[in-house]
Amino acid sequence: MATGTWEKLRMLVSKQFSIHQRHIKPDTNIYADLGADELDILNLSIRVEETFNIHIPNEKLATLRGRAEGIVALIATLSCEQRPARTLGTLNSQGK
């Protein structure tokens, strides 16, 4: 699990649900364990999008109702998919 991503997600969840970060584990279920409702999920999705500079498609929002480790995986996947591709031309222009 990407440590930086995990720590940022724990901080977001901790703030949103007013729970200490030590109580948020990879297997914590946002919906069942933290009692999230649909508004909580929507707010969490906005915070995740802003923090990680990604867009969560509507069909992926259900992932935010699940386990924290699933959310980290979703963030990693979307970050890779939505990151602009670096071409040889952009690498050369950056002196790499």
pLDDT tens, 64-78? 999 999 999 999 999
pLDDT tens, 22-38? 999 999 999 999 999 99
Confirm if 62 and 45 have CB atoms less than 8 A apart.
no
Q: What is the CATH architecture assignment of 3-82?
A: Orthogonal Bundle (1.10)
Confirm if 28 and 39 have CB atoms less than 8 A apart.
no
**pTM (predicted TM-score):** 0.80
Domain ranges of the chain: 3-82
Taking the C-alpha atoms of residue 1 and residue 10, their distance in angstroms, rounded to an integer, is 13
